[in-house]
Amino acid sequence: MTSKEKIVVTGMGAVTPIGTGVENYWTNLINGECGIDMIRRFDAADLAVRIAAEVTDFKAEEFLPAKLIRETDAFTQFAFAAASEALSDGMPASGDRMGIVMGTAMSGIDTIAATQEILTNAVHKNVGPRFVPRILGNIAAAQIAIHYGITGPSYTLSTACASGGDAISEGAMLLRAEETEAVLVVGADSTLCPLVIYSLANARALSRDNDDPRGACRPFDRSAGGFVMGEGGGALILETESHAKARNARIYGELAGWANNNDAWHVTSPEKEGRYAALCMKKALDRAGITPDEVDYVNAHGTGSLKSDEAETAAMEKVFMSGGKNTGKGPAVSGTKAATGHMMGACGITDVISCIKAIESGILPPTLNLKDPISEMDFVREKREGVKIDTAMSNAFGFGGQNASIIVRRYKG
């Protein structure tokens, strides 16, 4: 392909706490549904944090063979299901002309924690032979590749909560390098276990509003008290425009820009002025060949952690409120983790799906629980309909100073 040829999105899949399947996810998101509730997967009575956004409508047997269910962790199952939906219109390429890039923050941590607890308390010390294959970061991509016969490049990235966004960037680079004709990009995590909750709670990163699960995550609100853990999976099919047209594929949108960088600041805290997050967004804009004025909508990282939200807001203000038509309030901004919780590696992809659906439908999802905004930016507090959206940005930021920005726009063939 030439460096100027468009990269397009031809498949999407989602497994989220507010619905399995892209349409279920999107319908519930725009209608203000919230997936945050009391933890039911295990007894959390003794934990300081007893709330999370669990995937509740997922039936693994609808997507995976019985043997694979027995041999895989939940993050692999979510990844597999999202990939299956994205591929539901058919494989865009075969063999080594099809690649896969997986993004996950913590891969099989749930299995690791559960296995160690069993081993510690067991009289007979025994660990099953499938323990290691269940927990490996690359195993989700491997299981998908085995099932679908994908023999092209296979990469797994782990850049904390930016993993999904970075997986999209890596997929685009594979296409630019002509390593593949199409790429399946997947992100997934399931980290809801006492081990992780104890650690993040002790770090004061999680909301402790156990008495009000729905109101616990408050992105961009002055009262924000921490994020809420979620889980899920997301998937996209990326391919060149010419390849998609040659096979008469349905094109959902264009991947116009992508970028990655690092704050080089702190392990858990973002650079407070948002300088490098802003630079990441600008690099994505430059790659897309557009100005900040042309961005109509931003699906923000928006975790509900005040320091993180303040840094992200500072970054968005630097990019979008420094001149042009957006002076004053900038583009419309949603923080959808108030509905889904923080899905870690999955959110970088499901948030891009939200951007594509916003462009397609002219509907913007609300930022739940936003009453006292920390900025004058144009935050979407209630669902907006009949909005002309041509270009949208999704941001994903993670521990270690990881920044990822993705830009999608309306496809014009």
Q: Catalytic amino acids?
A: 161, 301, 342
- Residue 169 contacts by C-beta under 8 Å, 6 or more apart in sequence? 258, 259, 260, 404, 406
Cβ–Cβ under 8 Å, residues 167 and 349? yes
153 has which bridge partners?
none
Tokens found for residue 6: 């468009």
Instruction: Supply the DSSP symbol for 387.
Output: -
Helix (H, G, I), strand (E, B) or coil at 245: helix
Cβ–Cβ under 8 Å, residues 259 and 33? no
**Parallel/antiparallel/unpaired status of strands 51-53 and 36-38:** antiparallel
- Cα 250 to the chain's mean position, in Å? 23
Q: How far apart are CA 113 and CA 241, in angstroms?
A: 44
Closest residue by Cα to residue 42 from 204, 190, 258: 190
Longest distance between any two alpha carbons in the chain, whole Å: 69
**What is the length of the chain?**
413
> Which residue type sits at 358?
A
